[in-house]
Amino acid sequence: MTPLQWGLTLVSVVILGLMLWRGREIDRWAALALLGAQFATPLIAPLTHAGVRVGVAGVAIALAGALIALALRGRRWWLLAAAGVQLISVASWAYQILDPHAQVWAAVTFRIIVWMQLMVLVLFGLLEARLAPYARPPGR
C-alpha cells in the first residue's frame, strides 16, 4: 500500500471507531458494515474476471445492500445518503464492466472519492446520533 492509502485507511478507521464508540445501535451496524468492506476489499481483490476485480465489485454491492437495509430500518438521513453514495460506486463498477476500455485509474480514483464522501457522512451521522432529539434512545 502507498502512504496515501495508509493515511486514508487510518482516517477511515478513526472515523468508524468514533462511530462504534459514540453512535447509536443502527449507526454502529453501519460502521461495522463499512469496516467489513474496508478490510474485505484487499483480501478479495485478487478475484478477477476479464481484467475486472469482480471480488471488490461484489463487496461494493454487498455494502450497498447493507446500507440500504439499514437506511430502511433506521430513521437516519445519513444512512439514506450513504446508501445513495454507495450506489454511485456500484454504478461505476457496472460502467467499468460494460466498457472494457474505461480508464481503470479514473474509476479507482472516483471510488476513493466516494469512500471519503462516505466517511464525511459518517461524521455527520455521528453528530446526528449525539445531538438529534429523534436519535436518542427511548426513555431519555
pLDDT digits (tens, 9 = 90+) for 96-110: 778 777 777 788 888
Domain residue extents for the chain: 3-132
Global pTM value: 0.90
Q: Express each pLDDT in 35-54 by its tens digit.
A: 999 999 999 989 988 777 88
Mean pLDDT by 10 residues, the chain (140 residues): 87 95 94 96 88 88 97 93 95 82 80 94 92 76
- Which is it for the CA torsion 121, 122, 123, 124, positive or negative? positive
Planar angle of CA 135, 87, 130, nearest 5 degrees: 15
Of the CA atoms within 13 Å of residue 16, those in its CB half-sphere come to 21
108: its cell numbers: 479507482
Q: What integer pLDDT is reported at residue 140 of this predicted model?
A: 61
